[in-house]
């Protein structure tokens, strides 16, 4: 569920900035809190990450991270795997990070797409970054190399963190484009909880998980193999339906059973409304607004609708 938590000392003017790599590792969290928005905002983009999330919860910890793996997930998206050794750094499935790059004054904001368990066990997190002209995205696509060093700070009020005492829930995940990232984290986390239940007898209060994921074409469906691996591992628990809106080539035999052409429809989502179901939505603002309003109009309780708009 998405929760609002306020940390004393964090406000709309709270940001972080780094000018050199050496300065980055010396700055404590308290120093970051006292830097002002104007001191780091070189970009005049109205939809800059820091401006959009200025009042959103952020952790105190600013942790160093090293790039350990770079991969192409689609023609327009690169994924990074980063090593974060600071044991005080943690996150909940669905949250994002402020992404501090030495020598780049603009701060990036990227959703984590890995499970919290990967961090707990291997001290790794994964990000997937779509190419845009925003300086942090340009750096990821054109300058980032293995062993590049950055700093991360976790934030966000959009997350799934079930507790043993919670009532069993179904999940419906609705993703558009790169909005799959936080929902993939939630999906992977849910799969880890199911495995832990099977291996250790831990309680798992997740029933079924249904993923609806829309992209321009199948080449832009990020992590599709990972998603289908989870569907095949948990056939009675996890299902997915891919939607492609501008497909110009034949859909592969592997994807065809899971893929339909056209947008996600209202009926597909309304068919899964129940008192036990939570809805998580992440994608372009128009899509997010459309489905969140549809669910509200269908009398789904507001605390069962969690959404995040990602530009």
Closest CA to 132 of 102, 110, 112, 152: 110
Who's near 297: CB < 8 A, 6+ residues apart?
Answer: none
Q: Are 238 and 191 in contact (CB under 8 A)?
A: yes
Q: What is the SS3 string spanning 251-306?
A: CCCCCHHHEEECCCCHHHHHCCCCCCEEEEEEECHHHHHHHHHHHHHCCCCHHHEE
* pLDDT value of position 160: 96
* pLDDT value of position 2: 37
* pLDDT value of position 202: 65
Q: What is the pTM of this model?
A: 0.85
For the record, the structure tokens of 207 come out as: 């029933």
* pLDDT value of position 47: 60
In the chain the domains, ranked by start, together with CATH numbers, are 21-155 (2.40.30.10), 169-309 (3.40.50.80)
pLDDT per residue over 81-114, tens digit each? Answer: 999 999 999 999 999 999 999 999 999 999 999 9
Q: In angstroms, rounded to a whole number, what is the distance separating the alpha carbons of residues 123 and 121? A: 6
pLDDT under 70: residue ranges of the chain? 1-47, 201-203, 310-311
* pLDDT value of position 203: 65
Q: How many helices (H) and strands (E) does the chain have?
A: 10, 12
Q: Are 73 and 79 in contact (CB under 8 A)?
A: yes
51: enclosing H helix or E strand? helix 49-52
């Amino acid at each position: 569920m998405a929760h609002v938590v306020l940390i004393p000392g964090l406000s709309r003017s709270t940001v972080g900035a780094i000018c050199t790599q050496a300065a980055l590792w010396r700055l404590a969290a308290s120093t970051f809190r006292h830097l002002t928005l104007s001191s780091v905002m070189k970009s005049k983009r109205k939809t800059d990450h820091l401006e959009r999330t200025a009042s959103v919860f952020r952790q105190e910890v600013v942790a160093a991270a090293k790039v350990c793996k770079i991969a192409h997930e689609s023609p327009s998206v690169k994924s990074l795997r980063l090593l974060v050794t600071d044991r005080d750094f943690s996150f909940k499935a669905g949250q994002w990070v402020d992404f501090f790059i030495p020598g780049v004054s603009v701060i990036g904001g990227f959703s984590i797409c890995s499970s919290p368990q990967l961090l707990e066990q291997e001290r790794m997190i994964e990000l997937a970054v779509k190419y845009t002209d925003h300086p942090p995205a340009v750096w990821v696509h054109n300058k980032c190399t293995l062993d590049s060093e950055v700093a991360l700070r976790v934030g966000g009020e959009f997350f799934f963190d079930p507790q043993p005492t919670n009532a069993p829930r179904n999940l419906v995940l609705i993703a558009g484009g790169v909005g799959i990232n936080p929902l993939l984290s939630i999906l992977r986390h849910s799969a880890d909880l199911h495995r832990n239940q099977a291996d250790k007898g831990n309680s798992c209060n997740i029933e079924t998980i249904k993923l609806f994921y829309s992209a321009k074409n199948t080449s832009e469906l990020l992590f599709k193999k990972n998603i289908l691996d989870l569907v095949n591992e948990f056939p009675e628990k996890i299902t997915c339906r891919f939607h492609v809106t501008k497909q110009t080539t034949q859909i592969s035999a592997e994807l065809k059973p899971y893929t339909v052409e056209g947008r996600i429809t209202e009926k597909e989502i309304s068919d899964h409304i129940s008192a036990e179901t939570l809805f998580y939505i992440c994608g372009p603002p128009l899509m997010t607004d459309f489905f969140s309003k549809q669910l509200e109009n269908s009398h789904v309780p507001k605390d069962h609708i969690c959404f995040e708009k990602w530009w």
